[in-house]
Amino acid sequence: MKLILAQSAGFCYGVRRAVELAEETAAQGTPCVMLGSIIHNRDVIDHLASQGLVSVDRPEQVPDGSAVIIRSHGESRAVHEGLKARGVRILDATCPNVTRIHQIVAQAEERGRQPVIIGTPDHPEVTAIAGWCRHPVVLAGEEELDIWLSQAPERREFPLTFVSQTTSTRKIWDGCVKKAKKECTNAEFFDTICGATSKRQGEARQLAEKCGMMVVIGDRKSSNTKRLAELCREVCPDVRLIERAEDLDLTHIPQTETIGITAGASTPAWIIKEVYNKMSDEIMEIEKSFAELLEESIKPINNGDKVTGTVVAITPTEIQVELGIKYPGYIPLSELSDDPNVKPEDVVKVGDEIESYVMLVSDRDCLVKLSKKRLDMVKGWEEIEAAKENETVVEGFVTEDNKGGVVVSVKGIRVFVPASQTGLPRETPMSELLKKKVRLVITEVNRARRRVVGSISKVTRAERAAAAEKVWAEIEEGKRYTGTVKSLTSYGAFVDIGGVDGMVHISELSWSRIKHPSEVVKVGDTVEVYVISADKEKKKISLGMKDHSQEPWTVFTSTYQVGDVANVRIVKLMTFGAFAEVVPGVDGLIHISQIADHRIEKPGDVLAEGDKVDVKITDIDMENKKISLSIRALLEAPAAEEEPESEPQE
C-alpha cells in the first residue's frame, strides 16, 4: 500500500495568522481574551487556554482594560464599534480574505445595492459578514436563491451584489451565479471563495479519485472540514472523518493500493503528524515523510526571489497565486502588466502557472506581494538591447509626458522619446500621446545609467514611406480611398490616403455652393474620396468627394417642374436679381422684377444671402440648364384667384 498526504493539508494562511497572533500575545503576558473560538479546532483552543488565553462568548464578557482577539471568522461592525467605545484594545485576527468581503458588502450598500451572501446562514463567518450590512440577504445555495427571487418578482430588477463564504464549494457558488445571471438584470458578482480553500478542495477530490480510502482530519464543527469529507465521498467509497489519531480505527482497512490523507484548514500540523505516523506503521510504502512535506509547506522565500505559482483566483484588483508555501501570493493589477488598460483575464486564467518577482513577504499579514511586471522588466533589458542592436520595432504605452518629450514603457523599461522624435506637430501638447500604444525604435541604451532613448517618428516615417510607395504603385483614376483630412486651405482640403496626400478642390467637396472647405469638412475627419487624376512624376493627386450618382440637374428635374413651389436658399445677390439654390448644385434666378409685388431699387432691399424663401418655378431651360423663379407670382396668386364681386340687382 501507498500512503499519500495532500499537499495543501492543514492550516491555511488565515488560520495560521490567527494562531500565531494568539501565541505571541500569550507569550507577552498581555491581559487578553479570545472572543469566541478563533478557529474551529478544540485542541488548538485547549492549547491556547493552557497558555492563559481564555475564550468568552459575547463582547460584554470582555473585561475592561483587557485586550481581545477577534477570531479568524471575523465579527460584525457593531461588535468592533462597541469594543472601541469601551476602550478595549482589539487584536484583529480576521482572515484578510474575510475582511475584504466585509469591505465589499459595506461599499455595496453605500452605493444603494443589496448584498446577497451565499453561505451557511449560522456559520460565524457568514454571521460576521452579514453584520457589516444593514439589510443582508443570506442564502445557502441555488435552491434558496430561487425561492427568494420567486417570493418577490421585483427582486430580479434590484441592484444585487453577490459574495460567497470563503469556504463554500465552487459548485454551490457557480450554480448561484449561473441562476442569477439568467434571471437578474442588475447583478454584480465577487468570487470570494478563498483560493487556498478552492485549491485544497480540488486536491482532496483528485486524491480521493485514485484512493480506495480517504482520511479527513479536522474538527467536526468545522465547515471547511465537512466540505472536504463531502467532496471526497462523491468519488471515494471509504471516507473517514476524524479529529485526532485516537479516533482512527485501523482494524478494518480496505484492500487498496493507495490511501490518502487530507486535513481541514483549522487542523494543526502536530495532529496531522500523529495520524500520519500512526498510519505509516501499517503501510508498506510511504510516498514522502511528513517532515519533508511540512518543510516544503513552510519553505521560506525572500524579497527579490523569482517564484512560480498557480493562479487560483482573479479579481478586478488582483491575481491570487498559490505558491506551495505557508503564505499565499497576490499580484496587484498595477504589477501585472505595463499596459494601463489591461484586464487580468486577458493575461492569465485560473489554473495557469505564472512566474513572478517577490516584492514583499509580510509575516504580519501572512501574504506575499508579487510582481509580474518587474520580472518582465528584468527580461526586458535583454530584449531592449537586442532591439537596439537589430534596429527592430518595439511596442509600448506612453506613461508620462513633459515639455521635453514622453516616457514609453516597453517590457517594463522606461524609454524616453524626445519631443522632436514623437512625430507630433510643433504646437501639439505631448499629453496627446498619454496612455496610447505606440511603435518605436531604440536609438540609445545605457544599462549602467538605466537610460534608454527611442524614436516614434522614425517608425512613422518609415511606415509612411512604405505605404506611399504602395499607393503610387497601385493608384489609378476612379480608385476610391478612405482618407483623413490633414489640412484646409481657402481653395480646398488635403487628404491623407495612406502615406500620400491628395487635394480635394473646393469645387469637388460638395455640389452646394460653399465659400470655404470648413463648411464641409474639418481636420481629422475620415472621408471617402476618389481619384480624379494622379501625376506620378510631379507626385500630385487630385481627389473628389462629390457623389456623381446624385448629379444635381437630374435630381432637380426628377423632383420639380414648371409651376411647382419650392423653398430655396438665397446664395448670391446681383444688381439684376438674386440667385437661389433649389437643390444642392442647382441655382435658379429670381429676376429683380419677380422679387416683390412692388418696384424695388435693388434685391438687397428685400433679400439677404442665406435667406430661405418660397418661390414658384416659372420656367426651365433644359438645353442651357437654367431656371427662372418668382416670389411675386406667389404674392399675386391669391388676388388673381379672387372672384369679382357681382353687380347689385336693380
Active centre residues (catalytic): 125
d(CA 474, CA 534): 11
| Positive or negative: CA dihedral 194, 198, 204, 208 | positive
How many CA within 13 A on the CB side of residue 650?
A: 0
609 - beta bridge partners? none
CB atoms within 10 A of CB 100: 17
d(Cα 507, Cα 529) in Å, to the nearest integer? 14
What does the buried/exposed string (b/e) look like for 194-203 if buried means 16 or more CB atoms within 10 Å of the residue's CB? Answer: bbbbbbbbeb
Q: Rounded to the nearest 5 degrees, what angle is found at the Cα of 201, between the Cα atoms of 200 and 204? A: 85
Q: What is the dihedral of CA 287, 288, 289, 290, to 10 degrees?
A: -110
Q: What count of Cα atoms within 13 Å lies in the side-chain half-sphere of residue 557?
A: 9
DSSP helix, strand, coil percent of the chain (3-state; round to 5): 35, 30, 35
Question: Do β-strands 405-410 and 393-402 pair in parallel, antiparallel, or remain unpaired?
Answer: antiparallel
Question: Cα separation of 401 and 549, whole Å?
Answer: 48
Q: Identify which of 107, 172, 112 has the alpha carbon closest to the alpha carbon of residue 139.
A: 172
**What HEC string does 239-265 produce?**
EEEECCHHHCCCCCCCCCCEEEEEECC
What is the enclosing helix (H) or strand (E) of 46? helix 42-50
Q: Give the closest residue to 184 by CA, choosing from 153, 156, 224, 152.
A: 156
- The H or E element spanning position 490 is none
CA-angle at 281, arms to 197 and 7, nearest 5°: 20
